[in-house]
């Protein structure tokens, strides 16, 4: 046997060992240049949960998100869009047919799929789409998330919220326990590999806190903690401000933070965790008066994955280098989500010619919104005093459960008491969702249905006859 053959025989076991080791290690260790771009199908569900021109920013956020995903190479057939679609061609819109999400931004409305619009933007349709249940969908395009076991799903929601609840332009609203149940069903069906959820809403941390378990391969971030508001941005009077002709906020602080970050980084190398920290920094705004605390929930190890797995990747960004600092300047101010409608009505009033129909209309809109707010606030305060007494009432209303606990133990109780309150006191509406914690505390304190009904009738012998308090659109629960 010659020398070469002898060496080959001696080295053969070592070569086999190295090859096997490389095959097993390949799933765990790769050089950046070796990373595989072969992933399952990427799916996305984008939902704007409001209507009305004063809520311009929510549909603007969702349209911007669509453009980001489209530029990332995700096909329309894999992106499902929910939006009321009453903004672009609204008579209030100074640029008809165009929606912008930044003061100097391009149109983000063009090309957006109109999958579920108007009265088809419902909780039931959202759940059916997520579960891939075509037969349960009512109206709309019929498009659903027909995902498989190797697929990655991205969900983005932008709207008003409250403790344990997310707004919708139709009734009922979306309650945290129902969302978590659907996410568990999706996991049990084995039809995704991992799922990332970005949530923009006031008190959005309450949607997942104490409710989203680990082990579902779901990672979620929220614009705010469970007991604080989220914030609108690019609003009139801010710096940078919306263009002069706009009387409304163009975007939301958390939302524009993650999208604008995605546009200046290579998503093949930037991880979810890196983006989370940059978005958290920008959304806190360096000022406790104008910002919120971004939070994360679920399977946090997923945050080590690169963003391209969910958002795709724009070839134009492939040479961008990740910078471990925030290159995007924070706004000097931001507007509490719940006050953005008042800001719109006020700027509309100020700019309208004296004695004009527009002046009269905007004054009426502002007055009705304020009347509704004062009615809801005073009714909840009175309800607390009727149920618990003058001294203990405010304490119960404002009680916040320890971190890690869900808002309420009995979600059916919460929904029943919301309906009871609204029957006697009128709709909570987008503003009144802030009081969900108080109503949940009635359940946690053991208040009976009969007590809730009697106290509600005492607190609200009447309620304002305006669009905010009207039950014409149905109950919130």
What number of H helices and E strands is found in the chain?
14, 12
Both structure tokens of 365: 């809109």
Alpha-carbon Rg for the chain, nearest whole angstrom, is 25
Both structure tokens of 107: 């149109």
Cα→Cα distances 351→125, 128, 360, 368, 466, Å: 40, 44, 12, 19, 24
Q: Clarify whether 293 is annotated catalytic.
A: no
Q: Which of 58, 102, 152, 160 is catalytic?
A: 160
The answer for residues whose C-beta is within 8 angstroms of residue 14's C-beta and 6 or more apart is none
- What angle, rounded to 10 degrees, do the helices at 56-71 and 253-262 form? 20
Sign of the Cα pseudo-torsion (410, 170, 232, 269, in order): positive
Q: Are 476 and 165 in contact (CB under 8 A)?
A: yes
Residue at token pair 């304002």: 464
Q: In what order do the strands lie in the sheet with 251-252?
A: 251-252, 231-233, 335-336
Cα→Cα distances 407→91, 167, 247, 441, Å: 40, 17, 35, 8
Q: Clarify whether 347 is annotated catalytic.
A: no
Provide the b/e sequence for 237-266 (b: ≥16 CB within 10 Å): ebeebbeeebbbbbbbbbbbbbbbbbbebb
Alpha helices (H) in 132-213, listed in sequence order: 176-188
Q: Are 60 and 99 in contact (CB under 8 A)?
A: yes
Burial class (CB in 10 A: 0-12, 13-18, 19+), 20: exposed
Q: Would you give the DSSP letter of residue 47? A: E
Q: Which of 202, 235, 425, 443 is catalytic?
A: 202
Calpha distance 63→335 (Å, rounded): 21
Residue 89 dihedral angles phi and psi, to the nearest 5°: -105, 20
Residue 147 dihedral angles phi and psi, to the nearest 5°: -85, 160
Q: Supply the residues annotated as catalytic.
A: 160, 202
């Amino acid at each position: 046997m010659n020398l070469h053959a002898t060496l080959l025989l001696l080295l053969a076991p070592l070569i086999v060992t190295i090859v096997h080791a490389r095959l097993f290690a390949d799933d765990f260790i790769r050089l950046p240049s070796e990373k595989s771009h072969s992933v399952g199908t990427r799916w996305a569900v984008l939902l704007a949960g409001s209507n009305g021109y004063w809520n311009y920013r929510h549909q603007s956020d969702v349209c911007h998100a669509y453009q980001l995903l489209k530029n990332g190479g995700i096909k329309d057939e894999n992106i499902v869009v929910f939006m009321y679609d009453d903004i672009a061609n609204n008579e209030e819109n100074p640029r008809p047919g165009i929606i912008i999400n930044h003061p100097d931004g391009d149109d983000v409305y063009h090309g957006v799929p109109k999958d579920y619009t108007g009265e088809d933007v419902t909780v039931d349709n959202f759940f059916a789409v997520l579960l891939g249940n075509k037969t349960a969908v009512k109206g709309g395009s019929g498009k659903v998330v027909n995902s498989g076991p190797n697929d990655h799903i991205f969900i983005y929601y932008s709207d008003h919220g409250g403790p344990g609840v997310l707004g919708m332009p139709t009734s009922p609203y979306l309650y945290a326990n129902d969302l978590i149940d659907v996410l568990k069903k999706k996991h049990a069906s084995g039809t995704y590999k991992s799922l990332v959820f970005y949530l923009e809403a006031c008190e959005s941390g309450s949607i997942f806190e104490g409710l989203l378990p680990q082990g579902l391969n779901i990672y979620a971030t929220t614009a705010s903690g469970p007991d604080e508001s989220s914030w609108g941005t690019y609003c009139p009077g801010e710096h940078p401000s919306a263009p002069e002709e706009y009387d409304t906020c163009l975007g939301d602080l958390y939302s524009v933070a993650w999208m604008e970050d995605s546009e200046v980084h290579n998503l093949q190398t930037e991880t979810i965790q890196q983006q989370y920290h940059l978005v958290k920094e920008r959304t806190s705004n360096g000022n406790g008066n104008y910002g919120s605390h971004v939070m994360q929930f679920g399977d946090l190890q997923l945050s080590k994955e690169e963003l391209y797995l969910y958002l795709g990747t724009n070839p134009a960004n492939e040479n961008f280098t990740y910078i471990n600092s925030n290159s995007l300047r924070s706004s000097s101010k931001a507007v509490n989500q719940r006050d953005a409608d008042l800001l719109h009505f006020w700027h509309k009033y100020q700019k309208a010619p004296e004695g004009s129909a527009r002046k009269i209309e905007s004054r009426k809109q502002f007055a009705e919104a304020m009347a509704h707010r004062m009615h809801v606030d005073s009714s909840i305060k009175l309800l607390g005093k009727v149920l618990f007494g003058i001294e203990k009432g405010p304490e119960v209303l404002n009680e916040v459960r320890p971190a890690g606990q869900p808002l309420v133990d009995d979600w059916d109780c919460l929904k029943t008491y919301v309906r009871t309150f609204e029957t006697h006191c009128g709709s909570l509406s987008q503003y009144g969702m802030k009081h969900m914690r108080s109503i949940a505390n009635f359940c946690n304190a053991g208040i009976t249905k009969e007590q809730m009904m009697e106290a509600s009738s005492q607190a609200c012998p009447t309620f304002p006859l305006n669009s905010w308090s009207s039950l014409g659109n149905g109950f919130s629960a």
